[in-house]
Amino acid sequence: MDDIVKQAMAKWPNVPHCYGWLALDARGNWRMRDEAAQRADAPGDKLANAALLGFINRNYAHDEQGRWYFQNGPQRVYVNLEATPFIARTDPGQGFVLQTGQALGAVERVFMTDAGALVLQAGDIVAQLDDRDMAQVLACMALDGRPASVEAIMAWLEDDTAELALVTGDSRVRVEKLAADALPRRFGYVQMPAP
């Protein structure tokens, strides 16, 4: 967390929290949701300012209830999550990179939802894969030790008796099937924080 943020929190400890104004979409974009976007249940405007994005990424955390927020000076701005608290992209040098710009680290568990989304876990970090990188990652899947076609992977979603694994370099991680609506409960995060 930035020092200036810590100082503001100490100076103004009782600033009310903010809900509904900031969202993280399933492609890792931060979105500002003004009153009109909130009323229309719209995603909001994609933030593009590099300095603002850096500030949000450095000051992104969660509370004990699993609600993710951006600490904006003395105010917590709780984040609506379209998917998981982090979104991962592929990176040729680092493997997987989060929307914050940090490397994901060694993938310990992999889940595929009933909707076909891929979720990666490394330590306490849970990140859904950006759908634009899905084809590249599906090409790294093996079904019972042999390269898996997209059709075979989709069939595995219906009958997961065969072993599906993500194979990257020397790493081989078994893929587990998980219902998309079970993700928040399983990993202890709140998608739509409320007061």
What percent of the chain is modeled with pLDDT above 70?
Answer: 96
Residue type at 52 in one-letter notation: L
How high is the pLDDT of residue 67? 98
Please spell the DSSP secondary structure of 52-99, one letter per residue.
HHHHHHHTEEE-TTSBEEEEETTEEEEEEESS-SEEEEEETTTEEEET
The per-residue pLDDT for range 44-76, each reduced to its tens digit, is 999 999 999 999 999 999 999 999 999 988 889
Task: Dig out the tokens for 59 from the structure.
Answer: 């000051």
The per-residue pLDDT for range 124-183, each reduced to its tens digit, is 999 999 999 999 999 999 999 999 999 999 999 999 899 999 998 889 999 999 999 999
pLDDT at 96 over 80: yes
What CA–CA distance (Å, rounded) separates 173 from 186?
19
Looking at the whole model, is its pTM more than 0.75? yes
Q: How far is CA 103 from CA 4, 94, 119, 130, 165, in A?
A: 25, 6, 15, 14, 21
How high is the pLDDT of residue 8? 66
